[in-house]
Amino acid sequence: MGFHTFDADQAERLERPGRYRWVSAEELVGPLVEADAEVVADLGSGTGFYTDDVAARVGTVYGVDVQPEMHDRYREKGTPENVELVASNVEDLPFADGELDGAVSTMTYHEFASDAAIAEIARVVRSGGVVVTFDWAGDGDGEQGPPVDERFAAADAVAALEAAGFEVVSAATRTETFGVVARAP
């Protein structure tokens, strides 16, 4: 599996409303609301398309992205007052142990999926906190998103999360995408 990072020169594609076809705001934010999450990190926030949806329902969102160019685009668009942009990779997050109530990842799991990244998420999300992950499915046809050989199956994400001590609450494979919701150890 590769670790494909979205081309920042194509950032305008991240703002297309058609992205809701693959994951809706409701299914992303719902588990956070159920868990009373107030402090959340959006891992691979890009231009903030989904970060804005999360920000409308929680107290603070850290928009985490490894590419400063994505943060520049987000600032140009305008960031909500409760969004703080953080330049970091997922393997080395600048948060204290248990600082976050939750984390979300939309179409970026394939960019950071590693044991080190999952362990880091487990470190920064408080016990009982929620992790919501949607990404391109490894068994998709590859017409949208990254090449199929750079994707993971839902079962891969479930196994990685469980190996780090997470309790998987739900996992589903859909057309081209998968969704996994888990509780932190």
At 60-89, the pLDDT tens digits run: 999 999 989 889 999 999 999 999 999 999
For residue 1, name the pLDDT band (cuts at 50, 70, 90).
Answer: very low
Nearest-angstrom CA–CA distance, 42 and 51: 6
Instruction: Report whether pLDDT(157) > 90.
Output: yes
Residue 95: C-alpha distances to residues 62, 92, 101, 140 (Å): 10, 9, 12, 34
- Give tens-digit pLDDT for 12-70: 655 566 668 789 999 999 999 999 999 999 999 999 999 999 999 999 999 999 989 88
Element at 128 (helix H, strand E): strand 125-136
The tokens for 11 are 């950032």
Nearest-angstrom CA–CA distance, 48 and 59: 16
Mean pLDDT of 101-107: 96
The tokens for 96 are 């204290």
Which residues are 27's β-sheet partners?
none
Note the pTM of the prediction, 2 decimals.
Answer: 0.90
Under 8 Å between Cβ of 28 and 106: yes
Identify the top-confidence range among 84-88, 110-114, 137-141.
84-88
Under 8 Å between Cβ of 31 and 10: no
Nearest to 154, CA basis, from 138, 168, 141, 140:
138
Nearest-angstrom CA–CA distance, 27 and 72: 27
Instruction: Report whether pLDDT(2) > 60.
Output: no
Under 8 Å between Cβ of 134 and 179: yes
Separation of first and last alpha carbons in the chain: 27
Exposed (0-12), middle (13-18) or buried (19+): which is 170, by Cβ within 10 Å?
Answer: exposed
